[in-house]
Structure 1
Amino acid sequence: MGGETKEATDERRQFGVTSRTPPEGETDAAQKLPQRRAPFAAVTDWVKPPARMKQAFESELDHGNAFLFIPVFLAAGSLLYFSLADEPRFIGLFLIAAAFAGVALTCRSRPALRAALLAGFLTTTGMLAAKFETWRADTPMLGSEITTRLTGKVAGIEHQISGRVRLTLDVVATERPTLRYGPDRVRATARSVPEGLRPGDTVEGVVRLMPASGPVRPGSYDFAFNSYFSGIGAVGFFLSNPRLTAQQTPLSSSETVWAWFEKWRLDMAARIETTIGGPEGGIAAALITGIRTGIPEDINEALRIVGLYHVISISGLHMALVGGTVMVAMRTAFALAPTFSARRPVKKYAAATALAAAAFYLLMCGGTIAAQRAFIMLGVMLLAVIFDRAALTMRNLAISAIIILLWAPHEVVGPSFQMSFAATAALIAAYSAWTQYRQGRKRAPPVSHGPFVATLRAGAKYAAGLSMTSVVAGIATALYTAWHFQQVAPLGLIANLAAMPFVSVVVMPMAVLATLAMPFGLDGLPLQAMGMGIAAMNAIALWLADRSAFDATGAIPLSAVLALTAALAILTMAGSALRWFAAPLLVAGTILLAMREMPDVLVSEDARLVALRLSDGRVTVNRDRPRAFTMQNWERALDADETVRPRKTENISVLDVAHADAGESAFSCDQTSCVARHHGSGIVVHTQDVSSAAAACSYASLIVIDDATARNPCASAGPLVITKRDLARRGSVGIVFRNGERATIDEAHADPIATRAPKAQAGFAIREPYRPWHHHRQFSREARGLAPYERPTSSPRSEQGASDDG
Structure 2
Amino acid sequence: MARQGTPSIPMGDAGDTARETVPRTWRTHGVLSSSAHKFEAFLEAAEFDRGPWLTVAFGCGIGLWFYLAAPWQWAAMIAAFLGMAVLSWAGWRHLPGRAFTLVAVISLALAIAAGVSVVWARSVMVGAEPIAYPRFERIDGRVLSREEQPAEDRVRLVLAARDGETGKAHAYRVNVPLSADNPELREGARVRLSARLMPPSPPIVPGAYNFARRAWFDGLAATGSAVGDVEIIEPPGASRLSIASAQRQLSRHVRANLEGTSGAIAATLASGDRGAIPEADEEAMRDSGLTHLLSISGLHVSAIIAATYFLVLKLLAFWPWLTLRIRLPLVAAGASAIAGIAYTLLTGAEVPTVRSCIGALLVLVALAVGREPLSMRMIAVAAGVVLVLWPESLVGPSFQMSFAAVIAIVSLHNVRAVRDFLAPRQESWLRRMSRRAAMLFLTGLVIELALMPIVLFHFHRAGVYGAAANLIAIPLVTFISMPLVALALALDLIGAGAPAWWLVGKSLDLLLAIAHFFAEQPGSVKLAPRIGMGAMGLYVGGALWLALWQGRARLLGFGPILASAVLMITAPIPDILITRDGRDIGIANEAERLLVLHDREGGYAQDNLLELAGTDQSPIEIVDWPRSRCSDQFCVFTLDRGGRPWSVLVARNRDLVEERALAAACMRADIVIADRYLPYSCRPRWLKADRRFLDREGGASIYLADQRIDTVAQDQGEHGWWRAPRE
TM-score by length of 1: 0.78
In the TM superposition, what are the counterparts of 1:296-695 in structure 2 within 5 Å?
296-338=278-320, 340-434=322-416, 438=420, 446=426, 449=428, 454=429, 456-518=430-492, 521-555=495-529, 556-625=531-600, 628-646=603-621, 648=623, 665=627, 669-680=630-641, 681-687=645-651, 688=654, 691=659, 694-695=663-664
2:131 corresponds to which residue? 142
2:262 corresponds to which residue? 280
Instruction: Kindly state the Cα deviation for residue 457 of structure 1 after the two structures are TM-superposed.
Output: 3.1
Q: Report the 3-state secondary structure (helix = DSSP H, G, I; strand = E; otherwise coil) of the residue aligned with 1:700.
A: coil
1:243 corresponds to which residue? 231
Instruction: Kindly state the Cα deviation for residue 96 of structure 1 after the two structures are TM-superposed.
Output: 4.3
Aligned residues: 679
* Compared CA separation, residues 704 and 118, structure 1 to 2 (3 A): same
Instruction: Kindly state the Cα deviation for residue 766 of structure 1 after the two structures are TM-superposed.
Output: 4.8
Answering whether residue 117 of structure 2 is matched by residue 128 of structure 1, we say yes
1:749 corresponds to which residue? none
CA contact (8 A) 1:720 1:760 kept: no
Question: d(CA) in 1 for partners of 2:76 and 2:543?
Answer: 32
Q: Amino acid of the residue matched to residue 584 of structure 2?
A: L
Q: Report the 3-state secondary structure (helix = DSSP H, G, I; strand = E; otherwise coil) of the residue aligned with 2:709.
A: strand
Answering whether residue 176 of structure 2 is matched by residue 189 of structure 1, we say yes
1:710 corresponds to which residue? 678
Question: d(CA) in 2 for partners of 1:627 and 1:51?
Answer: 61
Q: Report the 3-state secondary structure (helix = DSSP H, G, I; strand = E; otherwise coil) of the residue aligned with 1:770.
A: coil
Q: Report the 3-state secondary structure (helix = DSSP H, G, I; strand = E; otherwise coil) of the residue aligned with 1:192.
A: helix
2:7 corresponds to which residue? none
What percentage of aligned pairs have identical amino acids?
Answer: 23
Deviations 1:392-439 (A, max 9, x none): 111101111111122211111111111111111111111011467519
Instruction: Kindly state the Cα deviation for residue 593 of structure 1 after the two structures are TM-superposed.
Output: 2.6
Instruction: Kindly state the Cα deviation for residue 53 of structure 1 after the two structures are TM-superposed.
Output: 6.5
Q: Report the 3-state secondary structure (helix = DSSP H, G, I; strand = E; otherwise coil) of the residue aligned with 1:167.
A: strand
Question: d(CA) in 2 for partners of 1:514 and 1:679?
Answer: 64
1:160 corresponds to which residue? 149
Instruction: Kindly state the Cα deviation for residue 118 of structure 1 after the two structures are TM-superposed.
Output: 3.5
1:219 corresponds to which residue? 207
Q: Amino acid of the residue matched to residue 673 of structure 1?
A: F
Q: Report the 3-state secondary structure (helix = DSSP H, G, I; strand = E; otherwise coil) of the residue aligned with 2:159.
A: strand
Q: Amino acid of the residue matched to residue 281 of structure 1?
A: G
* Compared CA separation, residues 532 and 338, structure 1 to 2 (3 A): farther
Q: Report the 3-state secondary structure (helix = DSSP H, G, I; strand = E; otherwise coil) of the residue aligned with 1:220.
A: coil
Q: Amino acid of the residue matched to residue 75 of structure 1?
A: G
Question: d(CA) in 1 for partners of 2:672 and 2:383?
Answer: 47
Q: Amino acid of the residue matched to residue 541 of structure 2?
A: A
* Compared CA separation, residues 483 and 342, structure 1 to 2 (3 A): farther
* Compared CA separation, residues 617 and 412, structure 1 to 2 (3 A): farther
CA contact (8 A) 2:206 2:711 kept: yes
Q: Amino acid of the residue matched to residue 698 of structure 1?
A: M
Q: Report the 3-state secondary structure (helix = DSSP H, G, I; strand = E; otherwise coil) of the residue aligned with 2:635.
A: strand
CA contact (8 A) 1:376 1:400 kept: yes
* Compared CA separation, residues 333 and 145, structure 1 to 2 (3 A): same
Instruction: Kindly state the Cα deviation for residue 160 of structure 1 after the two structures are TM-superposed.
Output: 2.5
CA contact (8 A) 1:733 1:765 kept: no
Question: d(CA) in 2 for partners of 1:586 and 1:94?
Answer: 29
Instruction: Kindly state the Cα deviation for residue 391 of structure 1 after the two structures are TM-superposed.
Output: 1.4
* Compared CA separation, residues 226 and 766, structure 1 to 2 (3 A): farther
Instruction: Kindly state the Cα deviation for residue 215 of structure 1 after the two structures are TM-superposed.
Output: 1.1
Q: Amino acid of the residue matched to residue 51 of structure 2?
A: F
CA contact (8 A) 1:158 1:167 kept: yes
* Compared CA separation, residues 75 and 515, structure 1 to 2 (3 A): farther
Equivalent position to 2:689, from 712, 722, 726: 722
1:802 corresponds to which residue? none
Question: d(CA) in 1 for partners of 2:45 and 2:614?
Answer: 45
Could you tell me which runs of 5 or more consecutive residues in structure 1 were left unpaired when the two chains were aligned: 1-48, 650-656, 740-758, 780-806
Instruction: Kindly state the Cα deviation for residue 365 of structure 1 after the two structures are TM-superposed.
Output: 1.0
* Compared CA separation, residues 312 and 489, structure 1 to 2 (3 A): same
Q: Report the 3-state secondary structure (helix = DSSP H, G, I; strand = E; otherwise coil) of the residue aligned with 1:239.
A: strand
Instruction: Kindly state the Cα deviation for residue 339 of structure 1 after the two structures are TM-superposed.
Output: 5.1
CA contact (8 A) 2:596 2:622 kept: no
Instruction: Kindly state the Cα deviation for residue 158 of structure 1 after the two structures are TM-superposed.
Output: 3.0
Question: d(CA) in 1 for partners of 2:111 and 2:400?
Answer: 19
Answering whether residue 44 of structure 2 is matched by residue 58 of structure 1, we say yes
Deviations 1:489-535 (A, max 9, x none): 22112211122221011112223334555555554444333222211
Q: Amino acid of the residue matched to residue 74 of structure 1?
A: F
Q: Amino acid of the residue matched to residue 41 of structure 2?
A: Q
Q: Report the 3-state secondary structure (helix = DSSP H, G, I; strand = E; otherwise coil) of the residue aligned with 1:184.
A: strand
Question: d(CA) in 1 for partners of 2:146 and 2:412?
Answer: 42
Q: Amino acid of the residue matched to residue 401 of structure 1?
A: A
Question: d(CA) in 2 for partners of 1:248 and 1:440?
Answer: 59
TM-score by length of 2: 0.86
CA contact (8 A) 1:101 1:117 kept: yes
Question: d(CA) in 2 for partners of 1:584 and 1:760?
Answer: 29
1:43 corresponds to which residue? none
Question: d(CA) in 1 for partners of 2:665 and 2:63?
Answer: 42
In the TM superposition, what are the counterparts of 1:752-771 in structure 2 within 5 Å?
759=707, 761-766=709-714, 770-771=718-719
Question: d(CA) in 2 for partners of 1:637 and 1:189?
Answer: 31
In the TM superposition, what are the counterparts of 1:7-26 in structure 2 within 5 Å?
none
* Compared CA separation, residues 635 and 552, structure 1 to 2 (3 A): farther
Question: d(CA) in 2 for partners of 1:544 and 1:769?
Answer: 41
2:55 corresponds to which residue? 71
Deviations 1:348-380 (A, max 9, x none): 211211111111111211222332222222222
Instruction: Kindly state the Cα deviation for residue 617 of structure 1 after the two structures are TM-superposed.
Output: 4.5
2:29 corresponds to which residue? none
Instruction: Kindly state the Cα deviation for residue 273 of structure 1 after the two structures are TM-superposed.
Output: 0.6
Equivalent position to 1:151, from 125, 140, 144: 140
CA contact (8 A) 2:527 2:615 kept: no
* Compared CA separation, residues 543 and 436, structure 1 to 2 (3 A): closer
Question: d(CA) in 2 for partners of 1:647 and 1:638?
Answer: 16
Q: Amino acid of the residue matched to residue 343 of structure 2?
A: Y
Question: d(CA) in 1 for partners of 2:274 and 2:196?
Answer: 25
